[in-house]
Amino acid sequence: MTEEITALPDDDFRRAFMRDVLRPERIAASVDRVLGERLELGPVSAGAGARRLAKVTAVATYRPSRGQALADDSCYLVEVPVHVAFDLDLAVETLSFEAEVLLPLDIKVLMEPPLTMVWEISPPAPEDVTLELVPGNRVGSMVQKAAGLDDELRRFLVKVVDEELAKPHVQRATRINIYDLIDSAWPALADHFLPPADASATPVADAGA
């Protein structure tokens, strides 16, 4: 007698998929792969108006991200720790700084017809960026306080993150065609639920029985 199967409603399937397949640690690991390990910038202009900095050169080293699921099953918060070494060229002098930065990224996973998973990644507002800036010398400390350097660098980092997320290879990575994914994985899936050894061992009924 065939066992009766209880169908899983579509909404329950979606929630289970988000909870069990798109786990926060997988989302965070995917963000790490997209960002890479290191980013070199500059020299580029930064700041605005009277507080405009001449040139900024920065080397950012990404550390493993931390992810957490939010109340909505399709939303995640990924915090990206970054160590940044800055050189500020003020024309008359170059100042060096190091910073420990925490960049919060809001990620929402949507399904787009016919069957494409889309990740919407929102960069943080400058005020949401945690930044601990350490000047390389006394002059740097004075400039940091007088010029409001922390806020300038927060705005600079948000601009950099926004530009990185807009790059073509990142945009491609945020769109996952489920059809293509299943097609490429199907041979391995088929081997999993019906291994060749099992198929060859299946007994054949005796025609005369």
Region 85-114: mean pLDDT is: 88
pLDDT average, residue stretch 21-28: 92
Please name the residue that has the structure tokens 């996952």: 176
CA–CA separation, 59 and 87 (whole Å):
9
Per-residue pLDDT tens over the stretch 122-148: 999 999 999 998 866 555 555 555 456
In this predicted structure, what is the pLDDT of residue 146?
A: 44
Indicate the angle between helix axes 149-165 and 138-146, nearest 10 degrees: 80
Mean of the per-residue pLDDT values for the chain? 82
Sign of CA dihedral 177, 178, 183, 189: positive
Amino acid at 55: K
Q: Which residue has the higher pLDDT, 150 or 79?
A: 79
**Residues β-bridged to residue 164:** none
- pLDDT confidence of residue 199: 55
**Rg (the chain; Cα; Å):** 25
Identify the pLDDT of residue 188: 85
Q: Residue 113: how many CA atoms within 13 Å on its side-chain side?
A: 0
b/e code 174-203 from CB counts within 10 Å (16+ = b): beeeeeeeeeeeeeeeeeeeeeeeeeeeee
Listed range (63-67, 147-151, 165-169, 183-187) with the worst mean pLDDT: 147-151
86: Cβ contacts below 8 Å, ≥ 6 apart: 56, 57, 58, 96, 97, 98, 99, 153
- Bridge partners for 2 per DSSP: none
Per-residue pLDDT tens over the stretch 107-119: 999 888 888 999 9
The confidence score (pLDDT) of residue 171 equals 93
Domains of the chain: 10-194 (3.15.10)
Q: Return the higher-pLDDT residue of 158 and 55.
A: 158
Q: What is the mean pLDDT of residues 177-186?
A: 90
Residues 6 or more apart whose CB falls under 8 angstroms from that of 110 comprise 74, 117, 118, 120
Cα separation, 78 vs 62, whole angstroms: 13
Residue 31, pLDDT > 90, answer yes
Query: Which class for 135: exposed (0-12), middle (13-18), buried (19 or more C-beta within 10 A)?
Result: buried
d(C-alpha 14, C-alpha 109), whole Å: 11
Return the pLDDT at 76. 96
DSSP code per residue over 61-88? EE---EEEE-SSTTEEEEEEEEEEEEEE
The per-residue pLDDT for 91 is 75
Comparing 50 with 107, the larger pLDDT belongs to 107
